[in-house]
Amino acid sequence: MKTKIIIDTDPGVDDALAIVMAFNSPELEVLGLTTVFGNVSVEQAATNALSLVELSGVDVPVYKGEAVPVSRTPAPYADFVHGDDGFGNINWPAPKGKLQDQDAVSFIIEQVRKYPGEVTLIPLGPLTNIARALEQAPDIAEKVKEVVLMGGATYVPGNVTPVAEANIIGDPHAADKVMTAKWPLVMIGLDVTSKVLLTHEAMDRIAGSNTEQCKFLKKASDFYIEFYRQTVGISGCMVHDPSCIAYVLDPSLFKTQSGRLRVVTEGITMGQTTFAPGTRKYAYPGWEDLPMQKVCLEVDGDRLLAMLEKRLTTPLH
């Protein structure tokens, strides 16, 4: 039986890589794409999600989600990383497809209740939609199969402050609510995603497959790869979001540790994910009665990249 997934996304170039990878994976049934602000506005994210559906020739509904964080003042969009349009400023034509009338949050709630124990939520942006769904329907916590999210940094620096990763600081209050909910959660953060680099050469090989999807991904990733060359001094880009799809397809690619997670919601370390390994008790409050979640700390990068390249270059439609 296929694994039912909902991808919550702020496309975004690495989101696009993840979404195409998911569309090209016969093991997965993508129930829908729900969109959220982050790399771009939620309107642009929704347009980009529609473009990815059209490009891939799949019948997957797209839902517009939350436009702003639950309580912090909105952060600027990451247009310096993904371009103003979220696709590297390639002036991709507007998609013909239309958004669903239903909003993202009610879609998530509806699907998790319709398929209890079967739906894996894969958040690839700020966690606002997921937190709103939990708020409106606390019962989904025991109905979700698993939450596999891209975000956070445990034992490595952040990428937007010395301690904070972009998706988490995008909505730290939502992130703390999601990380402390009583559902099975896997955090795929910078500890692993910053160690998996998709090189220029690999991107050229992928483009060489000459599929519509890969020609698009090559065009859209040039700006993103240039950002990494200029800021991090590498020739390639970090494979953040596709790592979540890879985890759902083959968790053995990762080594995880169990423990409790909290997120700092204000001050100079806002957006920091704090991990308490195991069940150790602490003198200070805030760590009692928290669920044990999984944090990915190691990854077989070569196997992940091989899976990514294979999936991207083998469209199903």
Smallest gap from Cβ 312 to ligand RIB, in A, equals 16
Q: Which residues neighbour 252 within 8 Å (Cβ) at sequence distance 6 or greater?
A: none
Smallest gap from Cβ 166 to ligand RIB, in A, equals 4
- Based on the shown chain and the rule CB under 6 A, indicate whether residue 14 belongs to the binding site for ligand RIB: yes
Among 65, 31, 25, 26, smallest CA distance to 245 is for 25
Smallest gap from Cβ 287 to ligand RIB, in A, equals 26
Select from 12, 83, 95, 152 the one that contacts Ca ion (CB under 5 A): 12
- Based on the shown chain and the rule CB under 6 A, indicate whether residue 315 belongs to the binding site for ligand RIB: no
Helices 212-231, 301-312: crossing angle, 10 deg rounding: 140
Residue nearest to ligand RIB (CB): 166
- Based on the shown chain and the rule CB under 6 A, indicate whether residue 150 belongs to the binding site for ligand RIB: yes
Smallest gap from Cβ 277 to Ca ion, in A, equals 27
The residue from 85, 191, 240, 241 that is catalytic is 240
Select from 19, 42, 62, 124 the one that contacts Ca ion (CB under 5 A): 124
State whether the Cα torsion 59-63-69-75 is positive or negative.
positive
CB nearer to Ca ion: pick between 15 and 309: 15
Range in contact with Ca ion (rule: CB under 5 A) among 2-10, 92-100, 169-177, 250-258: 2-10
The answer to whether residues 33 and 55 touch, using CB atoms and an 8 Å cutoff, is no
Separation between Cα atoms, residue 13 and residue 20, nearest integer Å = 11
| Residues 227-286 within binding reach of Ca ion (CB under 5 A) | 241
- Based on the shown chain and the rule CB under 6 A, indicate whether residue 39 belongs to the binding site for ligand RIB: yes
Separation between Cα atoms, residue 308 and residue 301, nearest integer Å = 10
Annotation marks residue 240 as catalytic? yes
- Based on the shown chain and the rule CB under 6 A, indicate whether residue 38 belongs to the binding site for ligand RIB: yes
Annotation marks residue 200 as catalytic? no
Among 10, 32, 12, smallest CA distance to 22 is for 32
- Based on the shown chain and the rule CB under 5 A, indicate whether residue 20 belongs to the binding site for Ca ion: no
Helices (DSSP H) in the chain: which residue ranges?
13-23, 42-56, 79-82, 104-114, 128-136, 166-170, 172-179, 190-193, 200-207, 212-231, 242-249, 301-312
The token pair at 211 is: 């599929």
Task: List contacts with ligand RIB (CB under 6 A).
Answer: 10, 12, 14-15, 38-39, 124-125, 150, 159, 165-167, 240-241
Task: List contacts with Ca ion (CB under 5 A).
Answer: 10, 12, 15, 124-125, 241
